[in-house]
Structure 1
Amino acid sequence: MDELQKEIDAARLKVRTDSYPMSIGEIVNMYDDGDLKIRPEFQRLYRWTIFQKSRFIESILLGIPLPSIFVAQNEEGIWELVDGLQRISTILEFMGKLKKEDETSELYPPLKLISTDYLKKLQDKVWEGQEGDNNVIHKNIKRIFKREKIDIKILQRESETDTKFEIFQRLNTGGSKLSDQEVRNVLLLMVNANAQHWIENFAKNKDFIETLPISERQKNESYDNELVVRYLCLRNIPSNSLNPSLQDVAPYLNQFVTTILNNDYDYENEKKLFDKTFEYLNKYFGEKAFKKYNSEKKDYTGAISMPIFEMVSYGVSYAFDKNKVVKPEELEEKIIKAKKDRATKLSEDPALERNIRPIDRMKNMVKQGKELIGS
């Protein structure tokens, strides 16, 4: 047998899927009956604008073929929405059925449409309303809407976890594209919701927030969660528990959340170290903790630097983990020197950052973090 064919056959065994079309009415009924789940946490990823929502409803009414949605079937046979959140949530919101939480009856306000390219009369149209209200969608149009079909791709529960993640990544195209960390959030919610909540609680830590001045856009894209995952991943690099052959940081972080954050992970100790690390950094450095040092201004300036974040956060956590005394004035002196040395190297060789693999840089920051502490 051809070697490529062997690889294809082996890989296909990892994915068990089924597929068939369902009407919008059937899909909504499944949601009402609790047979189709949209995890409440996913709602934060629901970022379509009113224009995008109205245009999608327009597409359904015009009979334009809709992309498939992707669901994962759990042990109880319940479907969990994996890809198609924006589309299904828009349909449910338009019909006044989108719940804020799966276990409650509280609903989002029904969607009021705006005028679109081909259907100008959609302006202010709603699904339900008072009798005689001209803005209410006519019952004949409702029937057409509910009979439109969407192709459902079902990932059976026998499929491997990393396969679910890979499929979600590949399907995550178009529309309001999710960041790498948002995709990671979805994966964790699928395989280990408690770990995802744990990471989110880290990101809400007051000291962590005050040392990391990030923009609202970055926060909306879960950049704060990514920084937590990076910090935790750094703490696992020395143990060689992650695949050394990976070339980039993103798959490294993906592997961390799928393999390291398991039942054997020392959540309690890592929480204590995280709290101590960022309490210390906030107390003595505040929002300058991870900024570059400007020798001319003799001050910390600009946005946070990822290499500095990795070096300093790991170094301080390492000190607390090894019960080493960390004197703020001595640490600051070492940090300034390390930042100056780094700036000098970059000025001498601007291509230096481009010529090193991101994962190697990350490992190098772990080494430099230890050196800050005198190890």
Structure 2
Amino acid sequence: MSTLDSQVEEKRKEIHTDAYPMSIGEVINLYTDGDLDIHPEFQRIYRWNEVQKSRLIESILLGIPLPSFFVAQQENGVWDVVDGLQRLSTIFSFLGIYKNEDGDLQPPLRLTATEYLPELEGKYWSDDFNNNCLSKELQRSFKREKIDLKIIKKESDEHTKYELFQRLNTFGSSLSDQEVRNCLLIMINKTMYDWLNVLAEDENFSNVFPLTNKQKDEQYHTELVLRFLSLKDVPIERVRGGIDIGEFITKRMREIAADSNFDMAAEGEKLRKTFRILNTALGENAFKKYQGGRYLGAFSLSIFEVIGLGLGFNIDSYSETNPSHLVKIREVSEGLLDNPEFVRNSGSGARASSRLPHILPMGREMLSL
């Protein structure tokens, strides 16, 4: 047997699956009985509008098959939804049984007209919500429609569902990389997810990143927090060899989230101190280019990797009340474009995989006291 054959056989033993069709009515019963976990926190990340939701209901009413739903069986038997979260929450919202992350019942979905069923405009599930509702016949037909369930059994390796979620929501996904990471983190360690969001909204952190509304909507500010935590202390050997930086950050996030010794309080304070000092020293110019005696342009990721991560690496040596420390940061910032090595390893043509092995040690050295 070849090495590849052995690897395939070994990995297949870690994944135990099953599949069978189930009526929407049966899935509804699972949800109301507490046997289906759909992660309502994800609603802040997925961005379906009323038209998309109505088109899903239209598809079910017309008998159009839906893509498979993936669930992972927990030790207690509860099914954890891995893929199909938005579709299921839309169905439950239409029926008026959907609850948010605090367990509060949410207002029922009001449908809009669709291409094939314009009469859906203003329709509700039942007359419990509004007289403009589906007939009893359509309600029965709706609940009898079958969906295809793929089940990852509890005997599978514990990381299988996270790997599956990441793959299903990365290929061709409308979510940004960080939105996918946020969903993963909610599943792995919700406390850390909440903590990351608090750090991303820190006033000093926000002040030094002049991001666009689109970047914030796609959770880029949260990604920058994660980049800081993942890279400021990382051994340089780990970022050599042409790594994919997006995959590396996701891997580091999963390592940190699973590490019981990771001190969120201490690491959070290091981030806050780093950006308090940066905000005092440079403000919104912290990660901009200094040319011709002034700061120009937008946020530069390369400059962040030198100054932000370099200061973070050395932050225990810095004092917020020592003026010479602020001068040091300004000098590094203003002289950065005069550094041939920085110029050679930054800019639009420098990929993170080739840039980081040079940029990270440069920043650590430049910002050392």
TM-score (ref. length: structure 1): 0.88
Give the counterpart letter for 2:254 in structure 1.
T
Match of 1:236 among 229, 233, 237: 233
Please name the residue that 2:186 is paired with.
Answer: 189
Which residue type is aligned with residue 365 of structure 2? E
**Does residue 126 of the first structure (1) align with residue 121 of the second (2)?**
no
Question: Structure 1 pair 99/342, CA: closer, same or farther in 2 (3 Å)?
Answer: farther
- 2:354 aligned with 1:360: yes
Q: Quick one: distance in 1 between partners of 2:256 and 2:26?
A: 39
Q: Which residue of 2 aligns with 1:163?
A: 160
Separation in structure 1 between the aligned mates of residue 13 and residue 288 of structure 2, nearest angstrom: 48
- Alpha-carbon displacement from aligned partner over 1:281-318 (angstroms, at most 9, x marks no partner): 112222111122243xx332332111111211112222
* Residue 302 of structure 2 is aligned to residue 307 of structure 1: yes
2:233, 2:313 within 8 Å by CA — same for their partners in 1?
no
Are 1:68 and 1:152, in contact at CA under 8 Å, matched by a contact in 2? yes
Quote how far apart the aligned CAs of 1:336 are: 1.6
Q: Distance in 1 between matches of 2:59 and 2:40?
A: 26
TM-score with structure 2 length normalisation? Answer: 0.90
SS at match of 1:293: strand
1:270 aligns with 2:256: no
State the distance in 2 between where 1:364 and 1:160 align.
37
Aligned positions of 1:1-375 closer than 5 A: 1-101=1-101, 103-104=102-103, 106-129=104-127, 133=131, 135-172=132-169, 177-238=174-235, 242=238, 245=241, 247-261=243-257, 262-295=259-292, 298-323=293-318, 327-341=325-339, 345=343, 353-354=348-349, 356-374=350-368
Indicate the percent of aligned positions where both proteins have the same amino acid.
Answer: 43
* Residues paired across the two proteins, number: 365
Deviation (angstroms), 1:353: 4.7
Q: Mark the runs of 5 or more structure 2 residues left unpaired by the alignment.
A: none
Q: CA deviation at 1:11?
A: 1.9
Change (3 A) 1:302 1:230: same
Mapped to 2, the partners of 1:230 and 1:201 lie a distance apart of: 15
Preserved CA contact (<8 Å) 1:37 1:81? yes
- Unaligned ranges ≥5, structure 1: none
With 164-173 and 311-320 compared, the bigger mean Cα shift is at 164-173
CA–CA distance in 2 between the matches of 1:175 and 1:49? 19
Shift of 1:141: 0.4
Q: Which amino acid is the alignment partner of residue 229 of structure 1?
A: L
Does structure 2 retain, via aligned residues, the 8 Å contact 1:189–1:196? yes
Residue type of the partner of 2:359?
A: M
What is the Cα deviation at residue 47 of structure 1?
0.9
* Deviation (angstroms), 1:48: 0.6
**What is the rounded CA distance, in whole Å, between the counterparts of 2:59 and 2:194 in structure 1?**
36
Task: Give the deviation of 1:119 after TM superposition.
Answer: 1.0
1:169 is matched by which residue type in structure 2?
A: Q
User: What is the identity, as a one-letter code, of the residue corresponding to 1:252?
Assistant: F
Provide, for residues 75-133 of structure 1, a one-character-per-residue CA deviation record: whole Å limited to 9, x for no partner. 211112121111111111111111112x52x2222111111111111111111236993
- CA RMSD of the aligned region, Å? 2.6
